[in-house]
Structure 1
């Protein structure tokens, strides 16, 4: 970037996200605010994730594609953060979507409205018109508002903006944590006195593909169990339930379920003939 220090460093950890990553990179290309650099940190995907990312080299203001031998969102985010030069780090997941004014609104808030803010998150909305899925995202927003009213800072790892100096001061994400690594980071940022804020706008479009795969009840159960265990026992360094990273895992299981459904329907039609 010719020696220019960008305001934002956007960090995107990936693993088999060839289907979704290009959509997010297109969203970044459409940003009104171009004062950013971007990092895609890939955990050695087995699909065309890296190949798809390379198509945006020279399109975005600055894009660096990094390879991580460790498949762990915390480790992958930390790897990019060490190379980042922006004043603020923006952590996004590959399956997220952001409006064109996403960075510009956040930039304006941090400069004009609350220069003392050192980390923040925003409200989210569903990636579909399903009433049940809209209810889930509204529930998440209400939990964030509740945390705000109780002065208990809470951010979402897939939608997090943090002052890079503070991130470095607390030594980034704990790479040993399996679940709720974002809550752990939030606590450590709060412990050093970092102020935070929750923005109702802009809203990040949250992917609910995991919810569609597992079902609403199971997804909510995992959320409640994970958060409760973290609050009661601290950082979760052991696997407490199946929560795999990567688009291939989610898509493969979804396709397998669809295949089973079609097979069942096929045999049902045969039985109906008798």
Structure 2
């Protein structure tokens, strides 16, 4: 039975769990081995059909580990929202159930948050291949470099790809959720790309850390992962969700950075072109979406035109031809 816990702590770690039986023990164990100890782990059971929760339940012998059960499979975005409702920490960290964090990881980040009273700390990642064994030392994940930032700076770094859009790439003040009613988009793919700009938009200060020799340890090429499946087969939902998230991201960034922003306008134009070209085979079957995306492309081109090179202007007309063909082939 779910019940909201009342014990306060410095950090709430939200870990949604769905069919990760091969990895969940390693992920939770890497949390349990942290030198920083003032945390709670909110394990959100998203109703998978393997032995993930059996393995996760073993960790509840440690009172810091708690299980919240969804009534049915809700997906990653909604499971994080559920975890937020039960979070009692001053700060929040979203960790994926198939990844790892080195022993000094939380201590390094929480030290910055507590000493400087930052709203957010963003950190680097270290990729490792599924099946690779990482051997951490006690000094793993120490701060190698640090750059202080404010809202606009962080949004521009997000725009340029200097920082990740992924929700596991930062730890932030829980009050930002409550004060701004921030939630992950229910039922959407690419939920991180939607949530992260909204979060960055409400921070006042923070820093970007490079942790060495390891940052957040992100498992790549995992069998059965959503992103691996996405790379193999494009669907209408993927196209529609990417378009939805792109529009929301652009609106958020435009509100924060203002109109007539060269970097933002060129970025949005390039994103619209890339999205249409990537999903042209899907668009042939969905005329309404073709019309909507064509309108957005025209608006992106009109806004960015004064900043675009001749080559990019030609690209606009080529993408317009692609959309036209999508309509004619129906």
Q: Corresponding residue for 2:221?
A: 209
Q: Per-residue deviation at 1:158?
A: 2.9
Structure 2 CA distance for partners of 1:197 and 1:226, relative to 1, 3 Å: farther
Q: Per-residue deviation at 1:232?
A: 4.5
Structure 2 CA distance for partners of 1:206 and 1:126, relative to 1, 3 Å: same
Larger radius of gyration: 2
CA–CA distance in structure 1, aligned partners of residues 92 and 29 of structure 2: 19
Is the 1:9–1:36 Cα contact (8 Å) retained in structure 2? Answer: yes
1:50 corresponds to which of 48, 53, 58: 53
2:180 matched to 1:180?
no
Using CA pairs below 8 Å that are at least 6 residues apart, which structure has the higher relative contact order?
Answer: 1
> When the two structures are superposed, what TM-score results if normalisation uses the length of structure 1?
0.66
CA–CA distance in structure 2, aligned partners of residues 56 and 232 of structure 1: 38
Q: Per-residue deviation at 1:196?
A: 3.7
1:73 corresponds to which of 66, 73, 76: 76
CA–CA distance in structure 2, aligned partners of residues 16 and 90 of structure 1: 21
SS in structure 2 of the partner of residue 19 of structure 1: coil
Q: Per-residue deviation at 1:6?
A: 0.9
2:236 matched to 1:234?
no
Please show how residues 15-26 of structure 1 align to structure 2 within 5 Å: 15-26=18-29
Is the 2:93–2:171 Cα contact (8 Å) retained in structure 1? Answer: yes
Q: Corresponding residue for 1:64?
A: 66
Structure 2 CA distance for partners of 1:149 and 1:3, relative to 1, 3 Å: closer
Structure 2 CA distance for partners of 1:200 and 1:227, relative to 1, 3 Å: farther
Q: Corresponding residue for 1:12?
A: 15
CA–CA distance in structure 1, aligned partners of residues 130 and 46 of structure 2: 32
Structure 2 CA distance for partners of 1:33 and 1:98, relative to 1, 3 Å: same
Which ranges of structure 1 fall in alignment gaps of 5 or more residues?
131-144, 242-274
Q: Per-residue deviation at 1:203?
A: 0.3
Is the 1:122–1:198 Cα contact (8 Å) retained in structure 2? Answer: yes
2:187 matched to 1:150?
no
Structure 2 CA distance for partners of 1:37 and 1:108, relative to 1, 3 Å: same
2:173 matched to 1:163?
yes
2:94 corresponds to which of 71, 91, 95: 91
Which ranges of structure 2 fall in alignment gaps of 5 or more residues?
132-148, 250-277, 280-330
Q: Per-residue deviation at 1:162?
A: 1.9
Is the 1:118–1:163 Cα contact (8 Å) retained in structure 2? Answer: yes
Is the 2:80–2:184 Cα contact (8 Å) retained in structure 1? Answer: no
> When the two structures are superposed, what TM-score results if normalisation uses the length of structure 2?
0.56
CA–CA distance in structure 2, aligned partners of residues 175 and 8 of structure 1: 23
Structure 2 CA distance for partners of 1:190 and 1:160, relative to 1, 3 Å: closer
1:83-114 deviation digits (Å, cap 9, x = unpaired): 111000110000111000111011111122x3
CA RMSD across the alignment: 3.6
Is the 1:121–1:155 Cα contact (8 Å) retained in structure 2? Answer: no
Structure 2 CA distance for partners of 1:194 and 1:67, relative to 1, 3 Å: farther
Q: Corresponding residue for 1:133?
A: none
Q: Per-residue deviation at 1:78?
A: 1.2
Q: Per-residue deviation at 1:67?
A: 1.2
CA–CA distance in structure 2, aligned partners of residues 3 and 172 of structure 1: 22
Please show how residues 220-259 of structure 1 align to structure 2 within 5 Å: 229=243, 232-234=246-248
Q: Per-residue deviation at 1:173?
A: 2.4
Q: Per-residue deviation at 1:42?
A: 1.3
